[in-house]
Structures are given as C-alpha cells and as structure tokens.
C-alpha cells in the first residue's frame, strides 16, 4: 500500500513538472484587421391575399390592383457599403379561375423606374397553381437595387370567365429577401 502511494506521488510530481514547462508565443493582435464576416440576412418583403370577390365592385370587374410599399432600407450607409448581393423571391398561389400578370417596378427617390420584372400566373384549374421567381441582384443590378425606394406591385387580371361578388378563390403573394453582406 505504501509503495502505491509513493508511486502515485512521484507520478503527480512528474505531471506537475511537465505542465510547468509550457510554450507560448507572442500574440498578434493585428489579426483582428484580417477578419472578414459574411452575414446573411433573411426577411419578408411583401405579402397579399386578394379574394376573388375583391376584383368586383358594384357588379363591375376591376382588373387591376395596385400597391407601392416603401423600401427605403438602402439609404442606410451600412447597406450601401457592405451589401454584396440580394436575392428577391416571389411566390404566387392562384386559386381563382382567371389568369393574372403581376408587374413589379422598382422606383428611385424621384419615382423613376430603375428595374422591372413580371410574373404570369395561369388560371386555377383544380390543381395546385404556384408560380415562383427569384431575382438576383449583384454588381450592376445591385447598384440599381440600391437606388430603389419603392416597389410597385400591379396585379392585372387577364381575360377569362367573368367574376362576381360571390366568386371564390384568392391570389396570394408571399415574397422574401435574402441579403448577403461582406464586413471587413
């Protein structure tokens, strides 16, 4: 028993001696200047849910619905300097027996168009009817997006069977933005 304690003490002392001899190098605090972060920000952009009967007012079809939300995030210096790429995702689900065209126009602070795109949405035929589109803004197109302060959404109903105030179905838009930054 006595020999076991002595061996245990000797091993403990040897381990302490080994750990007391350590290596260290000078720290380079300038490495912080080499840090490059690439955060990704994901957010909703716009959403609407228009019922079929909202295209009828007083028994008369209204074939255009318009909205122009303000998108003034690019006036912030952080966004203009650090933004590297933006993906805008659009998804439209149509359960109305009519086709639609959705036009998006990106406007600058003087309400002048800087970019536009559109989606054609076929009429509902009893099966899932989802149309998606992704717009990628990088380099020159990103510069155009940075000038954007509003995006107009114009939903135009195309020719087809007439709608009434008792028509069923809806057209739903959901959209999102994925922004890629480079912070050095």
Query: Residue written as tokens 């135009």?
Result: 156
Measured between alpha carbons, how far is 131 from 121 in angstroms, rounded to an integer? 6
pLDDT tens digits along 71-94:
777 767 777 788 999 999 999 999
By the 8 A CB rule, do 91 and 173 touch?
Answer: yes
- Which H or E run includes 8? helix 2-20
| Per-residue pLDDT, 73 | 72
Q: Tokens standing for 54?
A: 């909202």
| Interval 7-22 mean pLDDT | 60
Q: Tokens standing for 163?
A: 């709608």
φ, ψ of residue 40 in degrees (nearest 5): -120, 130
């Amino acid at each position: 028993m006595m020999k076991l304690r002595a061996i245990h003490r000797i091993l403990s002392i040897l381990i302490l001696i080994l750990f007391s001899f350590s290596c260290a190098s000078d720290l380079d605090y300038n490495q912080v200047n080499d840090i490059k972060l690439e955060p990704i920000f994901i957010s909703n952009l716009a959403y609407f849910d228009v019922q079929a009967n909202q295209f009828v007012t007083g028994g008369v079809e209204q074939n255009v619905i318009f909205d122009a939300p303000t998108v003034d995030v690019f006036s912030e210096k952080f966004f203009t300097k650090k933004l590297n790429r933006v993906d805008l995702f659009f998804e439209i689900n149509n359960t109305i027996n009519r086709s639609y065209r959705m036009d998006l126009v990106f406007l600058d602070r003087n309400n002048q168009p800087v970019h536009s795109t559109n989606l054609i949405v076929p009429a509902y035929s009893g099966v899932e009817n989802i149309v998606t589109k992704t717009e990628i803004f990088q380099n020159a197109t990103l510069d155009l997006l940075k000038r954007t302060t509003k995006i107009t959404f114009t939903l135009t109903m195309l020719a087809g069977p007439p709608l009434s105030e008792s028509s069923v179905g809806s057209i739903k838009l959901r959209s999102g933005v994925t922004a890629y930054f480079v912070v050095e």
